[in-house]
Amino acid sequence: MIEPALLSADNAAAWLGVSRSSVFRLVREGRLIAVRPFRELRFRQADLEAFVAGLEPANPRAGSVPANAGASDRGPSRAAIGKRSTICDGS
C-alpha cells in the first residue's frame, strides 16, 4: 500500500490523537506546519513528527528542570500585578 505524501487535516488529527479543530488551532498559532498545495491544508508526516518531538513532557521526572523553568508566556501573575504600585504626580 502506498502511503500518501501529504495528510489531510482529519488524518493529521487522527495521527496526533487530537481533534480537527485542535490541528487548525496549532496551525494558526504557528506551532504546526501545514502546506496548501490546492485549496485545503495538508500536512507532511515529517512535520507532524517534528511537532511531537518538540513537545515537553507534562510531568518532568523529579529532579530534572525543564528548559523553560521559571519562564512564563502568560506574563505576571495576578498576585504580582496586585503588588505593583503606581505613583501619580497629578500631571
When divided into structural domains, the chain yields a total of 1
Q: For residue 3, is it within any domain? A: no
Contacts (Cβ under 8 Å, ≥6 apart) of 49:
none
Pairing assessment for the beta strands 6-7 and 43-44 based on DSSP bridges: antiparallel
User: What cell numbers appear for 45 in the block?
Assistant: 508526516
Q: For residue 65, is it within any domain? A: no
pLDDT at 6 over 70: yes
Q: For residue 48, is it within any domain? A: yes
Q: For residue 13, is it within any domain? A: yes
Look up the domain containing 27 and give its range: 8-54
Phi, psi of 10 (to 5 degrees): -65, -45
Band the pLDDT of 84: cuts 50, 70, 90. very low
User: What is the C-alpha to C-alpha distance for residues 28 and 37, in angstroms, rounded to an integer?
Assistant: 17
Q: For residue 39, is it within any domain? A: yes
Residue 43 to residues 32, 33, 37, Cα–Cα distance (Å): 9, 7, 10
The residue-averaged pLDDT of 3-19 equals 94
Q: What DSSP element (H or E) covers 43?
A: strand 43-44
**What pLDDT is attached to residue 85?**
41
pLDDT digits (tens, 9 = 90+) for 24-70: 999 999 999 999 998 999 999 999 999 999 998 888 775 555 566 65
